[in-house]
Amino acid sequence: MYIPRAVARAAAAAASIPLYSLTISKTPGGFTSSSRGWNSFGIQANAATDPSFSFNQTNVEIQCDSLVSTGLAKLGYVYCSLDSGWSVGANGDEFGRIIYDNTSFNIPDLANHLHSEGLKLGVYVVPGGFIADENKTILDTNITIGSVCSGDNGLSRCNWNYGADGVQQWHDSVVALFASWGVDFIKLDFITPGSPDNGVNLPANESLAVPAYRSAIEKTGRQMRLDISWKLARDPTDYAIWEGNADSMRTDQDINNAGATSTSFTAWATVQRAIDNYRQYISLHTSQNEDLTIYPDMDNLFVGNSPQEDGVTDDQRFSIMSHWLGAAANLIIGNDLTNLDTTGKAILTNTNALSVGDFAAQRPMRPRNPGTGNSTSQQLQAWIGGPDETGKAVVLLANYGPDLGQGGFNTSLTGVQNVTVSWRDLGISGKFNVLDVWKDQSLGVASDHLSASLDEGQSLLLTLTPAK
């Protein structure tokens, strides 16, 4: 039989790309899975999606109580995370420590309320000490903040001289205060290299804030997650700092439609960008056997409300969840939890799908292009997580639709497309029982390839288990 030269070359290329072992083990904070829960930023930044929401303790409790009443908490969605605005923004207490805005919050009371329901509390911080506190003395020292912190990063904060005595003591005092309140999660934003300026004046390198917070957390004896943001540098030097100190790292910018008049949370064009940024990140860790100790943060999940409010179709909502699960990304919901629709509930609570997240927590997916096994950005894409020691694997096939400007693949195939990936492409061999995860439906035994007809924005999430 004649085999076209281009096909032969593609097959040879795929055969020459081994599928190395890629795993995630325990993070610096001692976690073996990514976080699940809710974060306030989506509604804060997109006020028109829920005009009745004001950022205060009453409304936060209503949202987070919904984690319990909807059954999400029983499925691991336990973090209730406050974003920017919970703290006094221009100054700290008598020692320059970060304090809550008591006109809107009582953080110890909020923590007690959440803990009584089996939930956990998260808070948002940015680097630096308060400029207004430069004359204050750091707790248990005779060192003033202004003597070790200078300049203006555009966030009402000065920049620490991380090598100076007193800087770690300030971080220790802040995190010890958080621990006394009952905080379980710290989101540390505006870390560089990586974070775009976003209208502020960030130092080129704020990476040492991350080990400062990690050291402070460890000294409290309280287990707290440390999540760092945003679109962080991936070079080996900086990545070693992130992986050695944080539990998760943002791989992209915010994906929400920020703006008071926006009536939808996100858009498919932005999701295409988020998926491509994860692809770029994980592709750096696929050329050798590697064990990672950090989880990716692809930003908040906007899959729980109606398509009009989420800003994406039902097919796209399923695809978003499939990618977040397969990547072992944080599953932090950004929606209005009091207004989940039927599809949103089905997406967030499907136990088969959540088991994929559990699998990916140790075996995250990476791209394997149909036809070559490469890891470049493509509109018609395949991903694989595993196989694990039993031979089980997770495979995701996707048609992202035309590139809307940030997808990275720059093609515009319209309508239903066939996505076919061979065992050579995926780097596996043998016979597998194939299960459609979302439908909980057996697709029989496959011995050399997988194929699906997928419309724009559709994907197919599969588990493969060895067949006798």
Q: Is the pLDDT at 32 greater than 50, yes or no?
A: yes
Q: Which of 386, 398, 355 is nearest to 465 (CA)?
A: 386
Q: Is the pLDDT at 61 greater than 60, yes or no?
A: yes
139 phi-psi bin (left φ>0, alpha ψ -120 to 50, beta other): beta
Rounded CA-CA distance 211/418 in Å is: 47
pLDDT value at residue 15? 53
Q: Is the pLDDT at 282 greater than 80, yes or no?
A: yes
Tell me what the mean pLDDT of segment 41-59 comes to.
93
Q: Is the pLDDT at 294 greater than 60, yes or no?
A: yes
What Rg, from alpha-carbon coordinates, does the chain have?
Answer: 23
Rounded CA-CA distance 119/64 in Å is: 8
The CA–CA distances, whole Å, from 434 to 424, 459, 467 equal 17, 15, 9
% of the chain at pLDDT higher than 90 = 92
Out of 313, 345, 366, a domain closes at 366
The boundaries of the domain holding residue 144 are 28-366
pLDDT value at residue 262? 82
Q: Are strands 120-125 and 79-81 parallel, antiparallel or unpaired?
A: parallel
| Together in a domain, 327 and 435 | no
Q: Is the pLDDT at 315 greater than 80, yes or no?
A: yes
Tell me what the mean pLDDT of segment 6-13 comes to.
42
Q: Is the pLDDT at 9 greater than 70, yes or no?
A: no
| Together in a domain, 201 and 340 | yes
At 233-273, the pLDDT tens digits run 999 999 999 999 999 999 999 999 987 678 999 999 999 99
pLDDT value at residue 197? 72
User: How much is the pTM?
Assistant: 0.95
Q: Is the pLDDT at 288 greater than 90, yes or no?
A: yes
Question: Alpha-carbon dihedral of residues 290, 216, 33, 278, nearest 10 degrees?
Answer: -60
- Residue 440 burial by CB count (10 A; 0-12/13-18/19+): exposed, middle or buried? exposed
Out of 322, 343, 366, a domain closes at 366
Catalytic residue ranges = 189, 254
Out of 366, 397, 417, a domain closes at 366
Tell me what the mean pLDDT of segment 394-413 comes to.
98
DSSP labels, 61-100: HHHHHHHHHTTTGGGT--EEE--TTSB-SS--STT----B
Check which CATH number belongs to the domain holding 333 and give it: 3.20.20.70
- Sole residue written with tokens 């066939």: 418
Q: Is the pLDDT at 12 greater than 50, yes or no?
A: no
| Together in a domain, 287 and 179 | yes
| Together in a domain, 192 and 280 | yes
* Count of the separate structural domains present in the chain: 2
| Together in a domain, 76 and 35 | yes
Q: Is the pLDDT at 454 greater than 90, yes or no?
A: yes
Q: How much is the mean pLDDT over the chain?
A: 95
pLDDT value at residue 362? 98
Tell me what the mean pLDDT of segment 9-16 comes to.
49
| Together in a domain, 270 and 375 | no
Sign of the four-CA dihedral 227, 232, 237, 239: positive
Rounded CA-CA distance 114/182 in Å is: 10
